[in-house]
Amino acid sequence: MNKLIKIAWRNLWRNKKRTLITAASIFFAVFFAILMRSFQLGSYDYMIDQSIEAFSGYLQVQSPDYSDDPSLENSFVCTPEILEKINQTGNIKAAVPRIESFALASNGSQSKGVLVSGISPEMEKKLSNPYHQLVRYRFEEKAISALEKGGKIPAVLLKKIRNFQNYSFSSEARIELDLGLSKEESKKYLPEIVKHTTIEANYLSETDDGVLVSDKLSKYLKVDVGDSIVLMGQGYEGSSAAGIFPIRGIVKVPSPELDNKLVYMTLAAANTFYGLDGRITAIAINLHNNDEMQSTQQLLSSELPSTDFVVKNWEEITPTLKQQIEGDSKSGQIFLAVIYIIVFFGIFGTVMMMVAERMKEFGMMVAVGMKQAKLATILTLEMFFLGIIGAVSGTLASIPLILLGHYYPVKLTGEVAKMYEDMGFQAIMPTALFDPYFFTQGMIILVMVFLACYSPVRSILKINVIKAIHG
């Protein structure tokens, strides 16, 4: 067998051009297939992270009737014992109580329907973490004009800043990233930028009677920190809910859809506003290992009384998001299948050409005593080496781009960006790190290489020596 392997390897390099062209076709097939699937799965993970992990949680404990009728009438009393039992269940990363309902928010002549989320400010830091999302810097016209008049910022950087007019930022690191500042530029110019763009940012205390307003909603209502908004809605058991709430801070919510309509207040304030008398609408839960979501859901369901509580996963809470992901995934798989078919016929044509060119050689080898089975084995090994060279090189070449795309996601612009915004997601495309998909693409190509060998191998096994020698 070792001799056959050596012969097959040497045969490859007898015609280097053909070998390199065939290997290159396999290389690009694997390279683009891995990158495409990585962008797809990375986008899905980001959508889930924005919509699920950063707000609703992977699991929720609710009243049995809440999913069919998500109203305050189907709220429940959350005791410390229930929270302790949930937190003691394996794989639970965070469990936070919530009151979620709707209200009409207004300021002067501006009004809009909003989602009111009653939270425990300290406990919520373990889940959606509004404190981390507080808007601390805003590139308003007044601030940009001051930077231009100061003369300390170069014209090129001022032009970039102008492109981000009215944008809000939660950290200096985000400003540095979006403006594309080098370490030297950050050290030299960032303090001056921060000096003029800093705005007041306060978080809620557990007994606070104020609210946090999402960034886009604050711009729509034309309010800022220190202003007040009026909230009106329907409370528990049909009671009237109305109140004036001072704005403590502005939060930049990762999901654009929520950023248009979210108001945070404390559990105590929400309880008083809606007249719930200590009740909540859900307990949002995040997990240490998201792959064990189903088993954790079953375990938690067995721990809690089924008559009083039901445990729902994110796929049941937001089926629309799941359907969007599944539909997009299928379309991506179809596109990959088309690529694979094209590559398969390319490989198949190369193998057939290789056999046709060498048929006289094969006839001579059989005539001098070489068994046809060994000849077929050599051809198969040649194609195996070609597949390995193309698949391994394509896989290795994709690694740097996957790492780069994961930590520095591609930012979309134009109509595609608007489409993402309309669906409720930020217009970026991160890549997924190395999951099974990463190795699957190379394995599929290798299987295709072996399938492409079937017809040539069959023709060698049935070779007519006289006809082959005479060409």
Q: CA 454 to CA 471: how far, in whole Å?
A: 22
Write down the pTM of the prediction. 0.71
The pLDDT tens digits of the residues spanning 267-294 come to 999 999 999 988 999 999 998 888 788 8
Query: Residue 429 domain-assigned?
Result: yes
Query: Residue 173 domain-assigned?
Result: no
- Nearest CA-CA partner of 220 in 389, 318, 106: 106
Provide the domain limits for residue 396: 2-51+321-469
Mean pLDDT taken over the chain:
85
Query: Residue 382 domain-assigned?
Result: yes
Q: CA 31 to CA 38: how far, in whole Å?
A: 11
- Residue % of the chain over a pLDDT of 70: 96
Question: Which positions ≥6 away from 275 have C-beta within 8 Å?
Answer: 235, 236, 237, 239, 241
Query: Residue 215 domain-assigned?
Result: no
pLDDT at residue 119, rounded to an integer: 94
pLDDT at residue 423, rounded to an integer: 56
Query: Residue 105 domain-assigned?
Result: no
Query: Residue 353 domain-assigned?
Result: yes
> 261 falls in which pLDDT band (50, 70, 90)?
very high
The pLDDT tens digits of the residues spanning 308-323 come to 889 998 888 887 777 8
| Residue 156 pLDDT greater than 60, yes or no | yes
The answer to whether the CB of 241 falls within 8 A of the CB of 93 is no
Query: Residue 302 domain-assigned?
Result: no
Query: Residue 460 domain-assigned?
Result: yes
| Residue 424 pLDDT greater than 60, yes or no | no
| Residue 124 pLDDT greater than 80, yes or no | yes
Angstrom distances, CA of residue 324 to CA of 42, 203, 213: 14, 35, 28
| Residue 455 pLDDT greater than 90, yes or no | no
| Residue 262 pLDDT greater than 90, yes or no | yes
Q: Are strands 262-266 and 110-119 parallel, antiparallel or unpaired?
A: parallel
Map residue 130 onto helix, strand or coil: coil
> 243 falls in which pLDDT band (50, 70, 90)?
very high
State how many domains the chain has.
1
Question: Which positions ≥6 away from 281 have C-beta within 8 Å?
Answer: 62, 63, 66, 70, 72, 74, 75, 98, 99, 100, 101
Measure the CA angle with vertex 372, ends 367 and 375; round to 5°: 100
